[in-house]
């Protein structure tokens, strides 16, 4: 990773922040983006204290022009792009029946179109360096999760997009990785949207029993070094994908029962 230029979207907290330190500690030059300036600058200062060269860009991945601007500022500063990590994302927690359709649109705009926009503008530079494009996806991109219909839809779309892109780029030397962490201790559940689009403000799961963001980041770093095409973390995640493929009807029941046990799950009321 020495002197590689790495763009990480959604890097002001959670997995994105952890990725900035994992890659930065390996000698990479880090570009971090996020919508909120204050926490983004805090991460930038922490990186600088460790001697990690970095550039913080306030940017909203759901806005196409912000992505074009992000790429141009990176090129102006560092002259190249080696790795793009599409990490920015948001979740939801509501039954589709009760959900305002703008919630679904918001998730698609951030999780899916954010990946499309950033990749579109960074791709010419990544082709030049024969670098890597990474999508931080989810088990929800392999197996639809109830109460998270919009989130699942956005991650299925991301997975399909990256698979198609990987195939298009097969003979270009560009590496495409789809990384699916499973349930990870981060703020994504706290920031998840409710039926009306407002932030839920708390987690419905025991964050202490989940994989740490730092471990996820280290595993993604290793996968990029190895130029792996995909990774599914946690035994629970691997079992969910396998059972869904082999026994889809059973998977429906298992997933329903598991998520009905979450705190305040609307599934438990049915």
Q: Which residues are known to be catalytic?
A: 151
230-232 and 175-180 beta bridge pairing: parallel
Residue 8 main-chain phi, psi, to 5 deg: -125, 115
Contact 130, 174 (CB under 8 A): yes
Contact 179, 231 (CB under 8 A): yes
Contact 262, 205 (CB under 8 A): yes
Q: If you ran DSSP here, which 8-state letter would residue 229 be given?
A: S
SS3 call for 155: helix
Residue 183 main-chain phi, psi, to 5 deg: -65, 120
| Exposure b/e, 180-213, CB count within 10 A at least 16 = b | bbbbbbbebbbbbbbbeeeebeebbeeeeebbeb
SS3 call for 248: helix
54-58 and 83-86 beta bridge pairing: unpaired
Q: If you ran DSSP here, which 8-state letter would residue 113 be given?
A: I
**CA 44/CA 103 separation, integer angstroms:** 30
Contact 64, 87 (CB under 8 A): no
Residue 237 main-chain phi, psi, to 5 deg: -65, -45
């Amino acid at each position: 990773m020495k002197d590689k230029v790495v763009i990480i979207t959604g890097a002001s907290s959670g997995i994105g922040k952890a990725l900035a330190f994992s890659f930065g500690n390996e000698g990479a030059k880090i570009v971090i983006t996020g919508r909120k300036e204050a926490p983004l600058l805090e991460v930038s200062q922490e990186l600088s204290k460790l001697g990690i060269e970095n550039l913080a860009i306030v940017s909203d991945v759901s806005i196409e022009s912000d992505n074009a601007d992000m790429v141009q500022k990176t090129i102006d500063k560092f002259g190249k792009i080696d790795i793009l990590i599409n990490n920015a994302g948001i979740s939801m927690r509501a039954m589709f029946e009760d959900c305002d359709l703008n919630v679904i649109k918001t998730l698609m705009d951030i999780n899916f179109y954010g990946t499309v926009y950033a990749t579109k503008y960074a791709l010419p530079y990544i082709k030049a360096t024969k670098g890597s494009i990474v999508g931080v996806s989810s088990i929800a991109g392999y197996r639809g999760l109830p109460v998270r219909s919009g989130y699942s839809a956005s991650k299925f779309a991301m997975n399909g997009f990256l698979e198609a892109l990987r195939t298009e780029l097969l003979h270009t030397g560009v590496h495409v990785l789809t990384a699916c962490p499973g349930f990870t201790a981060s703020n994504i559940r706290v920031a998840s949207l409710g039926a009306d689009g407002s932030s839920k403000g708390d987690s419905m799961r025991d964050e202490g029993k989940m994989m740490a963001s730092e471990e996820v980041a280290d595993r993604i770093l290793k996968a990029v070094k190895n130029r792996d095409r995909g990774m599914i973390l946690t035994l629970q995640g691997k079992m969910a994908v396998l059972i869904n493929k082999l026994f889809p009807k059973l998977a429906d029941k298992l997933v329903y029962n598991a998520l009905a046990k979450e705190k305040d799950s609307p599934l438990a009321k049915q």
